[in-house]
Structure 1
Amino acid sequence: MKKFLLFCLSLVIVYTIAYDLKIGTLQSYSSKPAPVSAVSIKNSTPYKKVKVSSGDTVLSIIEKVNPASLSKPIPEIIKDFQRYNHYIRPESIQVGKMYNFPVYKELKH
Structure 2
Amino acid sequence: MKKFIYICLTLVVVYTIAYDLKVGTLQPYNQKAAPVAAISIQNSTPYQKVKISSGDTVLSVIERLNPSSLSKPIPDLTKDFQRLNHGIRPESIQVGKSYNFPVYKKN
Q: For residue 49 of structure 2, what is the aligned residue in structure 1?
A: 49
Question: What is the number of equivalent residue pairs in this alignment?
Answer: 90
Structure 1 residues 26 and 54, CA gap change in structure 2 (3 angstroms): same
Residue type at the aligned position of 1:20: A
Distance 2:22 2:40 in 1: 36
Structure 2 unaligned spans of 5+: 1-11, 28-34
Normalised TM-score (structure 2): 0.71
Structure 1 unaligned spans of 5+: 1-13
Distance 1:65 1:99 in 2: 13
Structure 1 residues 26 and 103, CA gap change in structure 2 (3 angstroms): same
Residue type at the aligned position of 1:105: K
Q: For residue 74 of structure 1, what is the aligned residue in structure 2?
A: 74
Normalised TM-score (structure 1): 0.69
Deviations 1:12-71 (A, max 9, x none): xx9973433444514516xxxx756242334x1100000000000000000011111111
Rg comparison, structure with higher value: 1
Percent identity for Structure 1 against Structure 2: 57
Poorly superposed stretches of 4+, deviation over 6 Å = none
